[in-house]
Amino acid sequence: MLDKTLEYFDFIMKMPATRLAQLPEPVLPAGYSFALYTPGDELAWAELEASVNEFATPEKALEYFKREYVDQFQDELCRKCMFVKNPQGRLVSTATAWFMDSSLGYRRNWLQWISSSPEEQGKGLGKAVIIKALKLYKELNLTDDVFLHTQTWSHTAIYLYNKLGFEAFNIDHVKVAWNNEQGYRTMRNNIAKALEELKKVYTAELVAALRNNTLQPNSQEKCDFPPAN
């Protein structure tokens, strides 16, 4: 769940491609199983995302998911949107091995929409579904670096992402292709202020490690849109 006692700062992370091959096998509790998206699962996705306050209502979540994913990319969803199913057959955790066109490059790997149902948290489902989704990139031969966007309110998730191989990514902002007058939206990033805020909930050693291991953009990863490549 989001911890809004902290000040909000955007936080972009990056997993170097070499670490994808080093991921452990995901482990689920007895009776739980993985399942890729099939048409109709958008209803469960919407309820799940609304339950963790990513959307105000399931209806708003469903509207977004259909517009941005189902209507344009349903075939890709069937290969890239991963769920965990509980023993009763309910979809209770999700992560999507997605992509974005942005100032970092065209169709770069972006892990998206990572959520677990509040009543199912504490069982390791989030870690398992993230690993399973990340392994989809390799299975689909998409073995480039992987990015994700999060924020200080999700500090427990930042800790998990870091344990799995993501590092803070030191770029001021990323411009993402979007259907508006500019042709993009701006995804902000403020690693320095975020790390200062995370001192309230992290050990000094963890904050120092995140700071010291921060990754810098390479020559192709720009702030301007469209990207050079």
- Dist CA 44 CA 51 (whole Å): 11
Instruction: Say which range, 20-24, 145-149, 220-224, has the weakest mean pLDDT.
Output: 220-224
What's the predicted TM-score (pTM) here? 0.95
Tell me the pLDDT band of 229, cut-offs 50, 70 and 90.
low
pLDDT tens for 113-133 read 999 999 999 999 999 999 999
Res 1: pLDDT: 72
pLDDT, mean over the chain: 95
Is 178 a residue whose pLDDT tops 80? yes
Is 228 a residue whose pLDDT tops 80? no
Res 158: pLDDT: 98
Instruction: Say which range, 32-36, 102-106, 173-177, 223-227, has the weakest mean pLDDT.
Output: 223-227
Q: CATH homologous superfamily for 10-212?
A: Gcn5-related N-acetyltransferase (GNAT) (3.40.630.30)
Tell me the pLDDT band of 96, cut-offs 50, 70 and 90.
very high
Work out the burial of residue 173: count CB atoms within 10 Å of its CB; fewer than 13 is exposed, 13-18 middle, 19 or more buried: middle
DSSP letter for each residue of 122-189: TSSHHHHHHHHHHHHHHHTT--S-EEEEEEGGGHHHHHHHHHHT-EEB--SEEEEE-SSSSSEEEEE-
Domains of the chain, by residue range, sit at: 10-212
Res 98: pLDDT: 98
